[in-house]
Amino acid sequence: MTVGKTVRQAAAAAFVLSTPYWLPKALVGLRVRVFAAVNGPEGVIVPNETVGPEQFAELYAHPAADGRSKGAGLSDLFWYWLSPGPEVHQEHLEPGPRYDAVARTTVSILAGSSAQLSKAAADCAARVLDELVPGDVELVRLRDLMMPVWAEFFHGLVFHEPCPPGVRELITGNAEDVVNSLKNTRLRHMGRRARLTRYLLRRLAAGDLPHELPAELSGPRDRAHYLQGAFFNTAVVQMSEAMAHLLLVLAQHPDVQRRLAAHPEDDHDLGNVINETLRMYPLFGIAHRITSADIDLGGDVRYPAGTVLCFDYPAYHATGYEDPDVFDPGRWDRISAKDAHHIPFGVAANRPCPAWRLSPVVMRAATREVLARFTLHSSVSHTRPIPHRAPCLLVRRGHRLPAHRRAAVLAFLRVRDRWEDLGRSLLQLGLGTWMVADARRLRMAETYFAHHDTQGNPLPGQQAAGAAGPATIPRTAGPSGCPYPH
Ligand code: HEM
């Protein structure tokens, strides 16, 4: 064997072995470029060179930055991912009486004293943890572990009754399908989501809902879709993702974990950790608005009506802090969240998250249940999109796992994470491209607004939305309503 050949073989081996360290990043960049090419220009991303972090919040809170769906190409994509019933999902409703009524209803369903909400969340977490992690040492994906907790919790809030196991499966099946398609790790499976809609329709028809729903939601299907969208999709997905971030942070900061476990009553410390986690890993990458009138904030900051403004949360959260890349929960003792560039739940003046009060309360309760049972350990990467669903080793408190075994598991997790990342990036590129193209083909938002006004009323000469939903939104193919193989 010649020296040249050996060198070539070594270079080829180094190339292959190093791919997990650079190829996933390159593939993410390629995916963003493919999306932009298929979907057209994305609008104005802020903060940018003209809108600094100081004007970011002013622009976000501007009364004319109030359009949600009509007139943005992005809407077709979000409607596609958040189907069925995207036209009545609170996040997508245009401002007006229908939005106001729906927003009021969501807040009233989420209401409760901190003590009641904490107890309900702790009970659900305890039940699910005891059922799903019976052993002393278990490898889990934290997002998967948390989904059933929040499925049970929100079923309790919506129906005021415990969640039967079969219904929990329907809810987690729906929520997983939504979040996996949003992250491009799976295609949509509309049949899975439709099974939950049928359950909700049955419960509504039986008069089982202990809440009054807005008259502005015209038929039973709109009502079922509203509940499905807000509580069994957004709520379950967001809480599971938020908990996956929080618990992964604890798994990777053993000193913080030890402190919180030793003082479970210390809400202040845990509150700081939650603030810092949501600062570094905000659940929204970008939230968009379509301007309904011209905006002029002085200087060069002028946007005509119809501009799509994209508010970049991670970029905003990284400005105005000392060492923004360092995880430092203690910083929240030195600064106030009110004065900092910190909007994990959006801005108060412009459609903030209705669960801004509930979420930290119930996150604290669920975290205490986890820490009371287990120590957490993980060596995987931690990024905002968290597509790996947060692999983690749970060791029951009191159980002695020899240090060399724990080190071996962590080494395994680290290597598997790299290679999974590589495979997943390729998958995301393929599935993402397909879904962006499919959403563009269906043009759900554009089609809807060609036939309805912003309050959901059919435009003159159009057929009214019936019990089967707006006739103008293309229905999916196949006997199960699912266009993709299960
Ligand atoms: C830690 C958990 C959560 C975080 C960090 C979070 C974050 C956010 C953010 C940043 C927004 C505003 C986006 C924008 O300006 O367009 C938002 C909106 C929203 N969130 Fe949450 N969320 C969480 C949990 C929940 C839960 C539990 C629910 C339960 C129903 C929920 C329902 C909604 C809805 C319906 C909207 C749309 C509000 C509107 O347009 O009126 N979120 N969320």
DSSP string, 276-289: HHHHHS-S-SEEEE
In the reported structure, the alpha carbon of residue 417 is separated from the centroid of ligand 1 by a whole-number distance in angstroms of 29
What is the per-residue DSSP string for 214-275? PTTS-SHHHHHHHHHHIIIIIHHHHHHHHHHHHHHHHHH-HHHHHHHHH-TT-HHHHHHHHH
CB distance 235 to ligand 1 below 6 Å:
yes
Q: Supply 250's token pair.
A: 């604890």
d(CA 486, CA 484): 6
Contact 332, 69 (CB under 8 A): no
CB 286 within 8 A of CB 310: yes
Q: Which H/E stretch holds residue 309?
A: strand 308-312
**d(Cα 173, Cα 189) in Å, to the nearest integer?**
10
180 in contact with ligand 1, CB cutoff 6 A: no
Measured by CA distance, the residue closest to atom 37 of ligand 1 is 91
CA 278 to ligand 1 center in whole angstroms:
13
287 CB within 6 A, ligand 1 = yes
Indicate if ligand 1 lies below 6 Å from the C-beta of 82.
no
> In this predicted structure, what is the pLDDT of residue 8?
81
Residue 391: cis peptide before it, omega within 30 degrees of 0? no
**How far apart are the CA of 289 and the centre of ligand 1, in A?**
15
CATH superfamily of the domain spanning 36-451: Cytochrome P450 (1.10.630.10)
Q: Rounded to an integer, what distance in angstroms lies between the CA atom of residue 60 and that of residue 338?
A: 16
Question: Ligand 1 pocket, 98 CB below 6 A?
Answer: no
pLDDT digits (tens, 9 = 90+) for 61-87: 999 999 999 998 889 999 999 999 999
Q: Supply the pLDDT for residue 425.
A: 92
By most ligand atoms within 8 Å of CB, the mutation choice from 104, 238, 278, 311 for ligand 1 is 238
Q: CA geometry: angle at 402 spanning 397 and 403, to 5°?
A: 100
Which residue minimizes the CA distance to atom 40 of ligand 1?
91
Q: Is 371 exposed, middle or buried (0-12, 13-18, 19+ CB in 10 A)?
A: buried
CA of residue 87 to ligand 1 center, whole Å: 17
- Measured from the CA of 358, which atom of ligand 1 is nearest? 27
**What was the pLDDT predicted at 234?**
98
For ligand 1, whether the C-beta of 278 sits within 6 Å is yes
- For ligand 1, say whether the CB of 354 is within 6 Å of any of its atoms: yes
The rounded percent of the chain whose pLDDT value lies above 70 is 89
Q: Is the CB of 470 under 6 A from ligand 1?
A: no
Q: What CA–CA distance (Å, rounded) separates 238 from 390?
A: 14
Mutate to test the pocket of ligand 1, among 226, 312, 353 (most ligand atoms within 8 A of CB): 353
Structure tokens at 103: 């927003």
β-strand partners of 452: 458
Residue 140, strand partner residues: 392
Å from CA of 354 to ligand 1 middle: 6
Protein residue with its CA nearest to atom 14 in ligand 1: 287
pTM assigned to the model: 0.92
Give pLDDT, residue 472: 38
Contacts of 272 (CB under 8 A, 6+ apart): 329, 330, 332, 333
Contact 473 CB / ligand 1 (< 6 Å): no
Q: Does the C-beta of 346 come closer than 6 Å to ligand 1?
A: yes
Spatial contact of 105 and 211, defined as CB atoms under 8 Å apart? yes
Residue 106 Cβ < 6 Å to ligand 1: yes
Ligand 1 atom nearest 109 alpha carbon: 30
Q: Please list the ranges in the chain whose pLDDT falls under 50.
A: 465-486
What is the 239 CA–ligand 1 centroid distance (Å)? 10
Nearest residue to 154 via CA among 182, 120, 197 = 120
Ligand 1 centroid distance, CA of 343 (Å): 11
For ligand 1, whether the C-beta of 88 sits within 6 Å is no
The residue extents of the domains of the chain are 36-451
Any ligand 1 atom below 6 A from CB of 182: no
Return the pLDDT at 467. 33
* Ligand 1 atom at shortest distance from the alpha carbon of 347: 15
The CB density around residue 476, as the number of other CB atoms within 10 Å, is 18
Tell me the CA–centroid distance for residue 344 and ligand 1, in Å: 9
So what's the pLDDT on residue 74? 86
